[in-house]
């Protein structure tokens, strides 16, 4: 029996990178899944990547996690489509880099709006459904090694992910007696569009970045599937004794 047979799942950021990898992994394990993303093209790519025999369990919805009206509308559609919710995976996120003393306030606010406020808005919308789950609702949030170790030029990103840590622990305790679990995934450097498209300051000191990819495979970046397998475990019954904690998947970056 597949671990997600009969489980109803929403994955944000599912149009690319880690979110897409998670959506395809949980779909392969039997989930009825709504893939949500701001990019229609990304959602089309996710649907194209899904095997034909899994297409009937995959649904897509366009969603801007930083916009409350968009969250309310998209999640209402998802709940109706799925008939409820068992697992929420908040994988949507952005990264912006720059010298902290030169960072525009608009950039700071944009990163926090997507990474932290977006996670909050999704949780706020999903909790009433999750606590009704007959399997025990699960929230999987995404932190980062940036929240635990110094990531130069990424002040907004690090702050947003530290906020997600605190939010996850609060949710885990607040709803533990209602059968809800909440965990943080803490990736290190993963090869995605976010990392490949990151633009550091022209005068960035690369020696300060040396430890970020970790040590496995000679310091190579991880892959989305390295994260997807951990999420699949944590949000399934295999992770049933796990809540209010972090799972670090960083190639040994913070050893």
Instruction: Please tell me the distance from the alpha carbon of residue 49 to that of residue 203, in angstroms, as a whole number.
Output: 39
Instruction: Please tell me the distance from the alpha carbon of residue 192 to that of residue 225, in angstroms, as a whole number.
Output: 11
Identify whether 175 is a catalytic site residue: no
User: Burial code of 182-210, b = ≥16 C-beta within 10 A, e = fewer?
Assistant: bbbbbbbbbbbebbeeeeeeeeeeeeeee
Query: Helix, strand, or coil here: 140?
Result: strand
∠15-221-36 over CA atoms, to 5°?
A: 15
Per DSSP, helices labelled H in the chain are: 17-28, 40-49, 68-82, 105-112, 118-130, 155-174, 193-196, 224-234
Q: How far apart are the first and last CA of the chain?
A: 36
Instruction: Please tell me the distance from the alpha carbon of residue 178 to that of residue 242, in angstroms, as a whole number.
Output: 15
For tokens 């940036």, what's the residue?
146
Provide the 8-state DSSP code for 30.
T
Q: Which of 4, 153, 157, 175 is catalytic?
A: 157
Catalytic residues: 157
């Amino acid at each position: 029996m597949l671990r997600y047979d009969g489980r109803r799942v929403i994955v944000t950021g599912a149009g690319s990178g880690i979110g897409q990898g998670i959506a395809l992994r949980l779909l392969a394990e039997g989930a009825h899944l709504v893939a949500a993303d701001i990019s229609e093209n990304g959602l089309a790519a996710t649907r194209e990547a899904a095997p034909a025999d899994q297409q009937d369990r995959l649904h897509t919805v366009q969603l801007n996690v930083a916009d409350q009206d968009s969250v309310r509308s998209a999640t209402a559609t998802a709940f109706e489509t799925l008939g409820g919710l068992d697992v929420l995976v908040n994988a949507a996120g952005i990264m912006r880099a720059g010298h902290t003393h030169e960072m525009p306030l608009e950039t700071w606010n944009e990163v926090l709006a997507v990474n932290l406020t977006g996670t909050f808005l999704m949780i706020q919308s999903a909790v009433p459904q999750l606590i009704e789950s007959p399997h025990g609702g699960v929230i999987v949030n995404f932190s980062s090694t940036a929240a635990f170790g110094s990531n130069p030029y990424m002040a907004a990103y690090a702050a947003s992910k530290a906020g997600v840590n605190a939010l996850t622990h609060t949710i885990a305790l607040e709803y533990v007696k209602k059968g809800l679990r909440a965990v943080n995934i803490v990736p290190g450097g993963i090869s995605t569009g976010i990392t490949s498209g990151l633009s550091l300051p022209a005068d960035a000191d690369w020696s300060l970045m040396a430890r970020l990819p970790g040590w496995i495979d000679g310091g190579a970046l991880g892959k989305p599937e390295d994260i997807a397998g951990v999420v699949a475990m944590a949000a399934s019954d295999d992770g049933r004794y796990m809540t209010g904690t972090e799972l670090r998947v960083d190639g040994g970056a913070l050893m």
